[in-house]
Amino acid sequence: MIKLNVIPRGEIITRSGICFPEYNEKAIINSKAGVVVTACYHVGSGDFYIFGEETFDSVLPSKIDQPVVDYLKECPDTAYYTDQNKDVVKRYRKQIAFAGGLAEVRPRIVELKGFDAAQSRFAIWDKAQNGKLKYIKDGIIHKGLREFGAHQENFPPSMRALASCLNALERALYHDQRFKHN
């Protein structure tokens, strides 16, 4: 598990995003790997901090890596996903439901409805370019950003998980009364 050394002090809102393993012939890095990303929004600075990221190939009890189980124990109890094949999601939801190794951490997997892939791509790039996205140097997200930057038409699993995570954070902010603008 790769973790950010510095989690900001003060009020934060935390969410996780997930992209299940799915073959993607356009992806250059980890085309078959799933990715889980946990990030927070720092209320004081307005920055988004990626403080946990992990790749995985399976959630089957016999194949799940202990680092993934340990990682999921530290995540929020809900992981959000967007823009994935329904059959792929259904398969992994079943695996999670029956995974012995995940018994104590079994996360809820929730689809974010109304996902706009083009806007999410822009939001990720905008946050990264404007220094609002803090990530782990040479980590999964950093590598995904480099791949995404070089091949804008490609949306690797790491960016899909990040898009889900950021979408969930932005929706939480939208629904929080403190952030309402008249």
Residue 81 placed within a domain:
yes
Give 11-65 pLDDT, tens digit per residue.
888 888 988 887 655 544 445 688 888 888 988 899 999 988 888 776 655 555 5
End-to-end Cα spacing for the chain: 41
Mean pLDDT, the chain, rounded, equals 76
Residue 95 placed within a domain:
yes
Residue 161 placed within a domain:
yes
Residue 181 placed within a domain:
no
Residue 180 placed within a domain:
no
User: Residue 181 pLDDT > 50, yes or no?
Assistant: no
Query: Residue 129's domain is classified under what CATH number?
Result: 3.30.420
User: Residue 104 pLDDT > 80, yes or no?
Assistant: no
Print the domain residue range for 73.
Answer: 2-173
Query: What is the number of structural domains in the chain?
Result: 1
